[in-house]
Structure 1
């Protein structure tokens, strides 16, 4: 089993979801004190299947006086499956970076992780890898949407920015000495395979198919999430069933 783990702070607090006033703000009731508070939501996805009134979630207290909210959302419980799901969009990138450094993912095990946040072309990519004098840029996508059969889908809303990235990766993959990859990181353990959400965003799905044909590596992995943290479990297949 991969030894990649992102721990949560022991000071996290249980709460109950009430509503989501905007993309980056949720209103919750603290379980222990009963106070109704507002918390930062570090994930701009729709999350409509997860953020339902009455759902249990965990918050991390924030001591930064410059922040408008005193809490940030960490994870939410999916009552349908009983699984905890990460709702922090920064964690998939952190998991990916550790997995690259530790050579935990088969498609990238022979590559050396050089750095995160690398600019090439018109975009900034999440990671830069190197092998034998050649380079690979990797874009990481967090996944939370799943159906009852265990198929995970990305995106959960139309993403013109995501489609743009995929098209740029197709061009990079054609350049001499360069490679490109997309790594989908499932922020829950009940996803068995990953598919593009063609019904939600057909442009992204089509761009992904073109990218595959252009030589872009498509990879996916899943994580086990608990109130203690998020751990890389294993790799899952990417199925372009479109």
Structure 2
């Protein structure tokens, strides 16, 4: 960005399919940094005139920018894929109450009901426990919907709870495959029927071959359309219909 700025570029748009440190969006402990805001400041200081990204962990991150920032959603890509499956007995599952809004929109797009897993923290650690399942899932095909898979722990816990509740199958629909640490091993232990992700983060060949039931969907056409709309001065919100 800095090189383009000093080369007299008329306009610089930073395209970040995955916005780094998006989970650090609030000060929930003493003496920690709101790193998502810092990244936004760094992009602006470097000279970016606009930022284009996809599925932020929290929409309020857009408020960290003082210049235009566009937030694409991968739900149309994921929905298009899942609509090729038999959804007559399916239910979308949110991994926690915070994800319920986006999961509810996704469920509406698919025309299926929504269930929510209630997660609680017993202490100040990052580890949360799934304590309750809200909604009817017995005998149904569950689709766990979330913005990213990091360690895979939440997905594994959700899958276990759903199977104990009597679901027929468990599939996952996620935008960002972070897959840190032992995530692949954790997901395989969950015995998922399918793990559907997008290509916002490249998956290594080793991870791709090791992760059972993996399906990667392309978001290239969405970013291509958005970039063209920005270049031509047209609305991006029309893409969200």
Could you say which TM-score interval applies, normalised by the shorter chain? 0.3 to 0.5
Please identify which structure carries the higher strand content. 1
- TM-score, normalization by structure 2: 0.38
What TM-score, normalized by structure 1, do the two folds share? 0.38
* Greater helix share, structure number: 2
